[in-house]
């Protein structure tokens, strides 16, 4: 199962979508844009999940596809 994560940068001015919580795949201006992109990537790569993380890298929410 692939894991895509959505996390803010250090000052929350942009949001990263990462595969396996490693290198950023893409950067987005808003959390909503990043989440929509991560969900689309997850749907295209089922089975997979999207983890929404906070500034401290803690998982806040998780969605499975």
Note whether 44 and 2 are within 8 A (CB): no
How far, in Å, are 43, 45, 59 from residue 18 at the CA level?
Answer: 15, 14, 13
Q: Is the pLDDT of residue 11 over 90?
A: no
Whether 12 shows a pLDDT value over 90: the answer reads: no
Q: How many residues does the chain have?
A: 65
pLDDT at 22: 81
Domains of the chain, by residue range, sit at 2-64
The predicted structure's pLDDT at residue 21: 74
How many Cβ atoms sit within 10 Å of the Cβ of residue 33? 16
> What is the rounded distance in angstroms from the CA atom of residue 5 to the CA atom of residue 20?
7
Mean pLDDT of 7-17: 92
Q: Output the pLDDT for position 24.
A: 74
The single residue listed with the structure tokens 């969900």 is 39
Q: What are the tokens at 54?
A: 């906070």
């Amino acid at each position: 199962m692939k894991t895509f994560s959505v996390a803010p940068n250090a000052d929350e001015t942009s949001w990263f979508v990462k595969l396996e919580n490693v290198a950023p795949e893409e950067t987005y201006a808003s959390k909503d844009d990043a989440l929509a992109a991560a969900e689309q990537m997850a749907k295209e790569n089922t089975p997979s999940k999207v983890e929404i993380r906070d500034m401290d890298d803690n998982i806040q929410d998780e969605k499975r596809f």
